Amino acid sequence: MMSKPGQAIALDFKMDTKKPVKGLLGLQDDIGKAAKATAQDFRKRAPAWVSKAVRHAYTLKKDEFEKRSIKVKGTKKMGNIDVPNYEIIWKGKRLSLVHYRFTPTEMPEPRKKYRVTATIILKRKVNLGRRTFLQNVKKAPLMPWRRLADTRYPIVPIKTLALPQAITSDRADVEHVVLPNIEKRLENNMKRFVK
C-alpha cells in the first residue's frame, strides 16, 4: 500500500535474535581466547623483543636481560575468558664496564702504557681517560677502575647506566619494537581462534 504525502507509516521489524546473540557471545569468547593467547605470547616473547631493541643501541650482553620478574597485574574479562595483564620488571643498579665492551680485554704487560676505551653506546668508542686502569680483584674478571686523585688511592670501579635506564631510554626505542610484534601475535591469534 502506498502512503500519501504527510502520512506516517509504521514498519515492524521482526527477527529471531537468539541465534545471532549466541553467535556474538561465541565470537566474544573466541576474541577472549585470542587475547589470552596474545598475553601468553607477550609473557614469553617480550623479554627477547626488549633485549633486541636495547642491544641495537647499547653493547649490553644478552645474559643481562635474563634477570627479571614477571607478575600478573590483574585480569580482564573478555566473554567468559579471563585475560591476564602481565608486567615484566627488570631491576638493577648501575652496571660496571664488565657488562659492556671495553679494551684491552687482557691485562697489559707491567709498566707498559695503555689506554682503556669502552663502547657503551653502539658504534661509539670512548677513551676513559688517563686515570683509568685495569685490575683483577680476587676472582673477579678484569675490570676498569679510576683513580679519584693523582695519588694511588682512592680508586673506584667505573660504572655506567643501569639496565632499567637502558630499557627506558629514547635511544633504545623499545615501544617501536614491542608494539608491532604484539600486533602481529594478536593478528595471528585472531586467525587461529576467530572463525
Residue whose C-alpha is closest to residue 160's, from 78, 98, 111: 98
R_g of the chain, CA atoms, integer Å? 29
Shared-domain flag, residues 51 and 87? yes
Instruction: Please check whether residue 13 lies inside any domain of the structure.
Output: no
**What mean pLDDT do residues 2-8 have?**
41
Question: Is residue 21 predicted with pLDDT exceeding 60?
Answer: no
- Model pLDDT, residue 18: 52
Assess contact for 118 and 96: CB atoms under 8 A.
no
Instruction: Please check whether residue 2 lies inside any domain of the structure.
Output: no
Assess contact for 54 and 60: CB atoms under 8 A.
yes
- Model pLDDT, residue 26: 64
Shared-domain flag, residues 134 and 108? yes
Per-residue pLDDT tens over the stretch 35-76: 888 888 888 888 888 899 999 999 888 888 887 888 888 788
Instruction: Please check whether residue 178 lies inside any domain of the structure.
Output: yes
Instruction: Please check whether residue 179 lies inside any domain of the structure.
Output: yes
Shared-domain flag, residues 125 and 189? no
Shared-domain flag, residues 29 and 119? no
Mean pLDDT score of the chain, rounded to an integer? 80
Whole-angstrom Cα distance, residue 143 to residue 130? Answer: 15
Q: Which residues, other chains included, contact 167 with Cβ-Cβ below 8 Å and sequence gap of 6+?
A: 50, 54, 90, 174
**What mean pLDDT do residues 131-157 have?**
85
**pLDDT greater at residue 160 or residue 16:** 160
Residue 174, domain extent: 20-92+166-193
**pLDDT greater at residue 194 or residue 104:** 104
Q: pTM score, two decimals? A: 0.73
- Model pLDDT, residue 188: 92
Per-residue pLDDT tens over the stretch 80-117: 788 888 888 888 888 888 888 888 888 888 888 999 99
Shared-domain flag, residues 125 and 38? no
Shared-domain flag, residues 154 and 104? yes
Instruction: Please check whether residue 174 lies inside any domain of the structure.
Output: yes
Count of structural domains, the chain: 2
In the chain, the percentage of residues whose pLDDT exceeds 70 is 87
Shared-domain flag, residues 137 and 108? yes
**pLDDT greater at residue 13 or residue 188:** 188
Shared-domain flag, residues 86 and 172? yes
Instruction: Please check whether residue 14 lies inside any domain of the structure.
Output: no
